[in-house]
Structures are given as C-alpha cells and as structure tokens.
Amino acid sequence: MKLEIDQSGKVEYTSHDTVLAFSNGKQGSIFLPAKDKKILLNDICNYLQTSRVKIKD
C-alpha cells in the first residue's frame, strides 16, 4: 500500500503547530497544536527517565 504524507511545521519544533496530511485514495489530516506537542514531549521524557526503555543512537 502506498501512502502519500505531507507535513507542515516540523514535529520537533514545539513552538509551532504541526499538520500531517495523508492520501492514498482516502484523505485526512492530523492537527498537533504546539502546546500539545510540549505536553507529549514532556511525558515521553519523564517515561524514559523512569523506565528501563532506552533509545538507541
């Protein structure tokens, strides 16, 4: 299955909103507000600091 994806505003830039759009016969998009990205990033960092899960370089 082929899926086309377009991204507006980098996910890693937490001061900007991000929109991810996709199309493969059907179309849709996901809006990620900057404030929600900051919350998610904080939650992920806290989880990684308190768990045995490590990210490989």
Q: Whose CA is closest to 18, among 42, 37, 43, 45? A: 37
pLDDT recorded at residue 50? 83
Q: Order the strands of the 18-23 sheet from edge to edge.
A: 4-8, 18-23, 27-32
55 in a structural domain: no
Of residues 55 and 44, the one with the higher pLDDT is 44
Average pLDDT rounded to a whole number, residues 33-49: 89
Residue 57 pLDDT greater than 70, yes or no: no
Predicted TM-score (pTM) of the model is 0.65
Counts for the chain of helices (H) and strands (E), in that order = 1, 3
Number of domains the chain contains: 1
37 in a structural domain: yes
26 in a structural domain: yes
In this prediction, residue 55 has a pLDDT band, given cuts at 50, 70 and 90, of low
Q: Which residues constitute the domain of residue 22?
A: 4-50
Average pLDDT of the chain, as a whole number: 86
Report which DSSP code applies to 31.
E
Q: Whose CA is closest to 15, among 1, 2, 33? A: 33
Residue 25 pLDDT greater than 90, yes or no: no
